[in-house]
Copies of this chain bind each other. A is one copy, B any other.
Amino acid sequence: MSEIIRSLQRDLNDFGEDLHLIGAEALAGRHPGEHPDNLGAGAMAAPATPEAAVAVVRWCIDNGVPMVPQGGRTGLVGGGTSRPGELILSTARLARIEAIDPLARTATVGAGVTLQALQEAAAEFGLTPGIDLAARGSATIGGMIATNAGGILAFRNGVMRHQVLGIEAVLPDGSLFSDLTRVLKVSAGPDIKQLLIGSEGAYGFVTRAVLKLETFNPLRATALVGVPDATAALALIAHFRAQPALQLEGAELMWRDYFRDSAGERGFDLDWLARETPAVLLLEVSAASEAEARAALEDGLAALWEEHGLTSGIVAASLDQARRFWAIREESDFIYRLHPAAPSFDVSVPPGALDAYVAGLEARLRAVDAGFAAYVYGHVADGNLHISVFGEGAAAPAMKGPIEDAVYAGVSDLGGSFSAEHGVGLEKQRAFLAYGNPVRRAAAVAIKAALDPKNLFNPGKVPFA
């Protein structure tokens, strides 16, 4: 057992069941999640109350022990990695859905509640958190706040920042910041909770949150449509978004290589779609009935077919088939089976710039190595692309810089971001320093020094002070 855990057990033994302290032996049996170093500290505190969380943070401040906040460990960029000598602050025991208020359309939850648990609880009231993403079963609300998570509904509801009304957190000075606002409108001076959103633990440890909920409509229809390019996909999206009797529920674009290999790996007989078209658009709409949703989808596609050069399409005949369509988009782990260690990226560019960006990307990758290519897929309505580069030698360390430069070229000038929804963590440190806004970073560093002068909250991560 580490010295940190032993000392915590000695100093904070009053908290009993409200504070679990977990050493390296017990952690050895746990899954580290998406990064092998997540449990590297070998020491974890899992408070069950804000008071216990405050006590742990104050103990760490007094003893100079760095802290790493951790949720579902689904982060893809290493933002939750920890090292010996650090203490993991886990939200695992802050996992209660405390209240759902259907009139105010709000949910009050512990930071360790998973997205899926909240989705299921909200669905009983015909509501949804308004955010959805593939890691819903493990990703926690606290982690989604820390990374300002996005996902498949952001084009309509915005990102996590737009759903967060209130936050309770322990700040780096050990104070309990309890701003459990339950209303949309607050204009009462600087909104400090915004600093906790998307800062990956740099400014505090989120323990509780109040989220805004949205109307959930399960009456849907889903289609896969072959499109010539992102521009055509955006025209379809604009058409369906402008229909007052419809809601667009999903708009995901997969360029040909991604669609072919994902569908193929899953054994789906959709090769005809991939053969005929440069990209496949997954569309989902909801309406007053499933029949109306389906009719609107079919009518809309028919109306736009010729003008936008649509080549092929299939509307799901059953919920089960719709789920299979979504699996082609969401279950991307085939990439690493086919191309172990393929360098992966998560950029956003304004939607109108997507086609030029993707064409430029492919050319830039070929210029690095004629054998390089990329899987490109993502949330086309908000311009968020996921990119995995493959080809012989693409995973070699020497290729890291050239491939990154090929992916990030021009993104900032377009008003996009080198990290759209995954965060910075360790893996995007070079991008943060090379492609991030330097004035923004300088202000973030100044604030870090003001709020966390000992640099104890997730040190070595953003803002890399």
Chain B residues in 8 Å Cβ range of A417: 181, 183, 185-188
Contact of A348 among B148, B171, B186, B419 (CB under 8 A): B186
User: In the complex the two chains form, is A424's CB within 8 Å of B189's CB?
Assistant: yes
User: Among the interface residues A287, A384, A450, which one has the most CB atoms of the partner chain B within 10 A?
Assistant: A450
Bound-state CA distance A205–B230 (Å) is 37
A241 at the interface (CB under 8 A from B): yes
Chain B residues in 8 Å Cβ range of A245: 244-245, 287-288
Per-residue interface assignment for chain A, residues 216 to 248, with 1 indicating a CB less than 8 Å from any chain B CB and 0 otherwise = 010100000000000100100010011111110
Closest partner residue, chain B, to A151 (CB atom): B185
Within 8 A of B (CB), among A168-225: 171, 175-195, 197-200, 202-203, 210, 212, 215, 217, 219
User: In the complex the two chains form, is A189's CB within 8 Å of B104's CB?
Assistant: no
Chain B residues in 8 Å Cβ range of A424: 187-189
Per-residue interface assignment for chain A, residues 24 to 45, with 1 indicating a CB less than 8 Å from any chain B CB and 0 otherwise = 0000000000000000000000
User: In the complex the two chains form, is A444's CB within 8 Å of B184's CB?
Assistant: no
User: Among the interface residues A176, A189, A351, A414, which one has the most CB atoms of the partner chain B within 10 A?
Assistant: A189
Closest partner residue, chain B, to A217 (CB atom): B244
Closest Cβ of chain B to A115, distance in Å, is: 16
Contact of A186 among B180, B242, B420, B428 (CB under 8 A): B420
A383 at the interface (CB under 8 A from B): yes
Contact of A158 among B184, B287, B352 (CB under 8 A): B184
Closest Cβ of chain B to A350, distance in Å, is: 4
A446 at the interface (CB under 8 A from B): yes
Stretch at the interface among A307-315, A337-345, A434-442: A434-442
Chain B residues in 8 Å Cβ range of A253: none
Closest partner residue, chain B, to A176 (CB atom): B439
Chain B residues in 8 Å Cβ range of A451: 443, 446-447
Closest partner residue, chain B, to A169 (CB atom): B439
A402 at the interface (CB under 8 A from B): no
Interface residues of A (CB under 8 A from B): 101-104, 106, 126, 147-150, 154-155, 158-159, 161-162, 166, 171, 175-195, 197-200, 202-203, 210, 212, 215, 217, 219, 231, 234, 238, 241-247, 286-288, 348-352, 379, 382-384, 414-424, 428, 432, 436-437, 439-444, 446-451, 462-463
5 nearest CB pairs, A to B: A182-B415, A194-B194, A103-B352, A450-B450, A185-B420
Known: A188-B423, A446-B451. 12 other contacts (CB 8 A): A106-B350, A149-B187, A150-B187, A154-B185, A158-B158, A177-B443, A180-B415, A182-B416, A183-B383, A189-B424, A189-B440, A190-B447
